[in-house]
Amino acid sequence: MRMGVIGYGNRIGGMIKQIQKADPECQVSGIVDPNKARSKVIGENQGGKDIPCFDTPDEMLQSLQLDGVLIGTRCSLHTKMALQVLPSNIPLYLEKPVATTMEDLMRLKHAHELHHSRTIVSFPLRVTTLVQLVKEIIGSGKIGSVEHVQAVNNVPYGGVYFHSWYRDENETGGLFLQKATHDFDYINDIIGQRPVSVCAMVSKQIFKGSYPAGLKCVDCAENRTCAESTAFTPERELWPHCCFAEDTGNEDSGSALMRYESGMHMSYSQNFFARRQAATRGARFLGYKGTVEFDFVTGKVQVFMHHTPRVETYQLELGEDHFGGDRTLAESFIGMMRGTSEPVATLEDGLLSALQCLKARESAITETFQTIAWG
């Protein structure tokens, strides 16, 4: 299997390792990246072979016979690059978020409808054994139909969104698109309903300040006392900037109320200054007969029966790399390239989740309820 890569960063590098671990016959045959040295890195990892580096996706697609393409550029380029690949109908692995603006989202939706593209979106959480167990429990009818959802994501490594290039909101589109896109997606998948409206709010209470724009931790006089300093950590090159500077973007917490087609609603909250043991990511699904809750951090699923004195506890061993979800994504993409399976997370899933996030962001900016619709 011959793969082409557009934007070779840490995330796609990790996925390529997962793909080649699952099937060593999958090899990178070409890349599109402004850093030409990255082709040498890939080549060394594949036995010293020379990997051609192209200037544009079109050039790569015209020069090589590829079985699959992976897009791992910075977020603002996901749509632009995908639009160049979709007409080829080559199986595509597309990083999330699939778009960072409503204009890009509509362009991507139109292209997908036109070309009926075979695309898998990087949504590893929905395919983890933990989420699949919760889905199985709810599907069994044990707790009744889901009538309320409470979800939370307290991110212990939130500094990445203020120290690194992620601090640029023109790149991220805001942190609903960076984190909530995963959570909205697995919730959609579990409850099997379509969201219809959203009301949201964001705050920036911590990562703001009067330090000079462009200041780096290594140059700051307070880098030995600041709790967020990366000056003496392994992340100092990847997370170089002061997160209390004037040019630090992104909200540091956000919440959304999402109404679904049945009339039920979901509450979701994410936070980027929680640390250490305060980390949590998961949800509670409440029915009339019972409640099921889970936490990715602990790997625990619990079922609380409402009308009998019984609590069921499941302790799962979660894998690495998005709690084991990356392995399943890799296997699905391999199956797509070989023509033996369909994507476990479709472009339709990615489009809907991005629409939810963009509408949540618009709601927070305008202080209004937003209808989740394509019109």
pLDDT tens track for 122-153: 999 999 999 999 999 999 999 999 999 999 99
Residues 6+ apart with CB under 8 A from 132: none
Give the residue among 3, 207, 220, 9 at the shortest CA–CA distance from 120: 3
DSSP 3-state of 87: helix
Q: Give the model's pLDDT for residue 129.
A: 95
Q: Domain 2-124+326-343's class?
A: alpha beta
Q: Which amino acid is at 170?
A: N
- In the DSSP assignment, the letter for residue 88 is G
Per the prediction, the chain carries an average pLDDT of: 95
Where along the chain do the CATH 3.40.50.720 domains lie? 2-124+326-343
Distance between CA atoms of residues 7 and 73, nearest Å: 4
Which residues on neighbouring strands pair with residue 267, listed in sequence order? 150, 257
Q: Give the model's pLDDT for residue 40.
A: 77
Q: Give the model's pLDDT for residue 321.
A: 85
DSSP 3-state of 131: helix
pTM of the predicted model as reported, rounded to 2 decimal places: 0.96
pLDDT tens track for 345-364: 999 999 999 999 999 999 99
**To the nearest whole percent, how much of the chain has pLDDT over 90?**
91
pLDDT tens track for 157-212: 999 999 999 999 999 999 999 999 999 999 999 999 999 999 999 999 999 988 99
Give the residue among 115, 272, 256 at the shortest CA–CA distance from 199: 256
Residues of the chain with pLDDT under 70: none
Distance between CA atoms of residues 149 and 98, nearest Å: 25
- In the DSSP assignment, the letter for residue 176 is I
Q: Give the model's pLDDT for residue 349.
A: 98
Where along the chain do the CATH 3.30.360.10 domains lie? 128-206+249-318+354-371
Report DSSP letters for 256-297, one per residue. EEEEETTS-EEEEEEESS--GGG-EEEEEEE-SSEEEEEETT
Residues 6+ apart with CB under 8 A from 18: 321, 326, 327, 329, 330
Radius of gyration (C-alpha) of the chain in whole angstroms: 21
Q: Token digits for 70?
A: 């992976």
Give the residue among 71, 125, 120 at the shortest CA–CA distance from 91: 120
8 A C-beta contact, residue 7 and residue 90: no
Sheet containing 27-32: which strands, arranged edge to edge?
53-54, 27-32, 2-6, 68-71, 92-94, 119-121
Report DSSP letters for 177-237, one per residue. IIIIHHHHHHHHHHHT--EEEEEEEEE-SSS---BPTT-BGGG-TTTTT-TT--TTSTTTT
Distance between CA atoms of residues 99 and 104, nearest Å: 6
Please report which helix (H) or strand (E) contains residue 135, including its range.
helix 129-139
The count of other CB atoms within 10 Å of the CB of residue 40 is 14
Report DSSP letters for 3-63, one per residue. EEEES--HHHHHHHHHHHHH-TT-EEEEEE-S-THHHHHHHHHTTS----EESSHHHHHHH
CATH architecture of 128-206+249-318+354-371: 2-Layer Sandwich (3.30)
Report DSSP letters for 160-173, one per residue. HHHHSGGG-HHHH-
Give the residue among 105, 114, 110, 152 at the shortest CA–CA distance from 352: 105
Cα 198 versus chain centre, distance: 20
8 A C-beta contact, residue 174 and residue 357: yes
DSSP 3-state of 325: helix
Q: Give the model's pLDDT for residue 64.
A: 96
